[in-house]
């Protein structure tokens, strides 16, 4: 939080966008710093998250609006709100903790539930639909390229073999298949530092929610929606995401679009990592519009 606020420098009167409102953690802090006179625009894939965040934000002040949608369409969202350019943009990309902790959402390999993984459950194809239809060669390719999965071929083979008998419908179904493909017992997997199914689940989640294409689209439109001196901050958890952010910000610096920013990714301090272990893999990069 401290690093985000230091990067964005929110002040009274600023217009700020939180592209990934979640339960409102960042949004509440941002709104409290841009009042009076400021305005917070927020969006999120998950309508349920927005209702929780709305209550928290309303306790700070009325100068906010929340949208159920995809940050890849940010210019359209701002136009609908009568806004051209903004002072600050934050995106905390990837899956939210409530999604991981709720078995019914299908994100966790540690809790059984329907193999869904859609952040927005009102649209799109579930993870079950993907693993039951994707060709074996394509499965292996995405596991290898997006997940650095060394056993990609064997996992893909086992998935295709198993779904020929019956559809893969639950998180436990998929976890068992991946563990078998990687020669892990379920007991040994539960105690592993990195669960053998972690990369497979992450790759499927990113495919289901089109996370890399959506992030690339956001990075492409940032220069058009930031005011001069406006700042964008992106928190990522996956090496592929971080590479996209690094490449886009570097290109912006080279072209004179940005004139200040983080030379290296900022990471959570020791104290924060102890308090919130999920912050360990988070990387923050920011860039300021020239």
Q: Edge-to-edge, what's the strand order for the sheet holding 86-92?
A: 64-68, 39-44, 15-18, 86-92, 226-236, 283-289, 258-261
pLDDT in tens, the chain (290 residues): 999 999 999 999 999 999 999 999 999 999 999 999 999 999 999 888 999 999 999 999 999 999 999 999 999 999 999 999 999 999 999 887 778 889 999 999 999 999 999 999 888 999 999 999 999 999 999 999 999 999 999 999 999 999 999 999 999 999 999 999 999 998 899 889 899 999 999 999 999 999 999 999 999 999 999 999 999 999 999 999 999 999 999 999 999 999 999 999 999 989 999 998 888 889 999 999 99
- Asked if 201 contacts 174 with a C-beta cutoff of 8 angstroms, the reply is yes
Dist CA 181 CA 161 (whole Å)? 11
Q: Compute the half-sphere exposure of residue 208: CA atoms within 13 Å on the CB side of its CA.
A: 29
β-sheet bridge partners, residue 92: 235
Compute φ and ψ for 117, nearest 5 degrees. 70, 5
Domains parsed from the chain with CATH numbers = 2-97+211-289 (3.40.50.150), 121-208 (1.10.150.170)
Dist CA 113 CA 134 (whole Å)? 21
Model pTM?
0.92
């Amino acid at each position: 939080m401290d690093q985000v606020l230091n990067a964005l420098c929110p002040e009274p009167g600023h217009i700020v966008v939180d592209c990934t409102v979640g339960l409102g953690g960042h949004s509440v802090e941002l709104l409290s710093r841009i009042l009076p006179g400021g305005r917070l625009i927020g969006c999120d894939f998950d309508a349920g998250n927005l209702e929780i965040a709305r209550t928290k934000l309303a306790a700070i002040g009325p100068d906010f609006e929340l949208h159920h949608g995809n940050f890849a369409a940010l210019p359209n969202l701002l136009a609908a709100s009568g806004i051209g350019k903004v002072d600050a943009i934050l995106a905390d990309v990837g899956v939210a903790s409530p999604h991981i902790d709720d078995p019914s959402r299908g994100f966790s390999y540690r809790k059984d539930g329907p193999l869904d993984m859609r952040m927005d459950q009102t649209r799109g194809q579930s993870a079950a639909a993907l693993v039951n239809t994707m060709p074996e060669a394509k499965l292996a390719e995405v596991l290898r390229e997006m997940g650095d999965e060394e056993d990609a071929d064997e996992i893909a083979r086992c998935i295709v073999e198993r779904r020929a008998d019956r559809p893969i419908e639950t998180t436990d179904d998929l976890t068992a298949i991946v563990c078998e493909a990687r020669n892990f017992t379920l007991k040994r997997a539960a105690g592993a530092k990195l669960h053998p199914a972690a990369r497979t689940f992450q790759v499927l989640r990113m495919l289901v929610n089109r996370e890399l294409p959506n992030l690339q689209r956001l990075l492409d439109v940032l220069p058009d929606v930031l005011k001069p001196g406006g700042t964008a901050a992106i928190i990522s958890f996956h090496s592929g995401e971080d590479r996209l952010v690094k490449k886009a910000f570097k290109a912006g610096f080279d072209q004179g679009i940005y004139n200040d920013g983080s030379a290296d990714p900022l990471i959570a301090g020791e104290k924060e990592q102890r308090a919130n272990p999920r912050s360990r893999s988070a990387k923050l990069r920011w860039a300021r519009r020239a």
